[in-house]
Amino acid sequence: MIADYLEIIPLATAKNYLRIDDSLSSDDDLIESMIDAALQYVEMYTNHILVEQNKTYYGNNDPWFCASNVYEIYDFPIVSVVEPSDPDDYTSKTFNTKTKYTMQADTLELNLGYEAVSDIPQAFIQSALAILQVWYYNSEQQQSTALIPKSVQFALNPFRRFPLF
């Protein structure tokens, strides 16, 4: 499993993309922080979880509403169900853009994330690098500019896991 965003885009890869000499290290912390932020943007925009994490979802177990909780999970990829631990305590059905869990429990905990960098769509990595380039080179401009290039949005749109309104 991937434990850190810098496993996806190492500092050396980012510096090469930005055409920064490896011997220049004064901006390394800034670039690393921008790598994290760019990949977090990709996660937020697409609901594809890049770095392994456990996430808890809370239901509405109101007897007037329904007899069980229904969780519609747009996050992807789902590695495993952590809680409830017994597969007999829930049912699941996978659709194109979501997985639906039905259960009595008030919470659902899932283990999410890609297992290897090679499993991550290249569009995500290239989009994060394009974001990084805009943020790095346009950070000192005084005029208002788009922080996320339209080309990045076009590249990520097919991967979005939730409906566009």
Q: Does 5-49+116-159 carry CATH code 1.10.3230.30?
A: yes
Within 10 angstroms of residue 124's Cβ, the number of other Cβ atoms is 24
**Tens place of pLDDT for every residue, the chain, 165 residues?**
899 999 999 999 999 999 999 899 999 999 999 999 999 999 999 999 999 999 999 876 555 555 568 899 999 999 999 999 999 999 999 998 899 999 988 899 999 999 999 999 999 999 999 999 999 988 666 555 567 888 898 899 889 887 654
Which residue, chain included where needed, has tokens 């500019």?
145
Instruction: Identify the three-state secondary structure at position 42.
Output: helix
CA atoms of 59 and 120, how far apart (whole Å): 30
Name the residue among 91, 85, 86 with its Cα closest to residue 68: 91
- The answer to whether 148 and 46 are in contact (CB under 8 A) is no
Radius of gyration of the chain (CA): 19
Q: Is 120 exposed, middle or buried (0-12, 13-18, 19+ CB in 10 A)?
A: buried
Query: Residue ranges of the domains in the chain?
Result: 5-49+116-159, 53-112
Within 10 angstroms of residue 53's Cβ, the number of other Cβ atoms is 16
